[in-house]
Each structure stands twice: as C-alpha cells, then as structure tokens.
Structure 1
C-alpha cells in the first residue's frame, strides 16, 4: 500500500478556487501525510502566517482534518480529509 494518499475528484474540485498557498499546502499533505503547521511552513517555504491562512481556507472547504498532537498537546496535526 502506497504512503501517498491521492486526492479524489471532489477534493480536487473544492481546491479549484482556493489560493495557490492552500493548493501547495494540500499537495504537501497529500505527499507527506500528517504534519504540524510549523512542519508545513518548513516544507512549503511559506511564512507561518500564510500557512495558517491556507489551513483555515482548507478547513472551511472540508479538505483537511486536524487533531491534537499526542506528543505536544499545544500543537495540531493536519492531514487531507480524503474519501475512503
């Protein structure tokens, strides 16, 4: 089974009108799996503020899932919300 989770057609459609930063964050999550906001900023080379905005937009569209980190409850871990 591949570690890469590919976006389904519905997810791609919801991403269509989002800003490029949100699309980049979604693509990184697609390839990397679950990441924290700071890890996303590091992977995308985007400022933390831009990543936060992108995650908010993705959350509004129902494209990402988030949960608290087990290792540090102050952090959230993000992953693509994909149809199974």
Structure 2
C-alpha cells in the first residue's frame, strides 16, 4: 500500500503544486497516510514544501525537478 500511496501523490503533483487538502481530495488517501508519505518524500528530497503567499497558514507541495530530466 505504501508504494501505491507514493505513486498517487507523485502523480497528483506532476502537473502543478498542490495543498494538503487538494491532495486529500485527488488521491482519496486517509489523512494520516498522506502526511506520512509526504514526510517520506520530503526526507528523500523528492518534493519541496513552500508556504502559500496568499495564506501563510497553508503549504504547497511540489515535485523537485532533477537534473536528469533535462
């Protein structure tokens, strides 16, 4: 299940940055599973977390672009 959740999250972030709530709606994963996998992806350096300029209480998650993709 963990690999499946990671794949869903990466796929959801592939087109544009998303908030945690947007990811919950898109992936339909349990909140705890989403939080766990977001932290794993951050630890592995695959995603980046940024504060939203319009609302600093919210964070955006985005996939990091690797140098190999160019």
TM-score, length of structure 2 as denominator length: 0.84
- Give the 4+ runs in structure 1 shifted more than 3 A: none
* Structure 2 counterpart of 1:39: 22
Unpaired stretches in structure 1, ≥5 consecutive residues: 1-17
CA distance in 2, matches of 1:71, 1:21: 29
The two structures, once aligned, show a CA RMSD in angstroms of 1.4
Between the two proteins, the alignment pairs up a number of residues equal to 66
TM-score, length of structure 1 as denominator length: 0.71
CA distance in 2, matches of 1:77, 1:39: 10
Unpaired stretches in structure 2, ≥5 consecutive residues: none
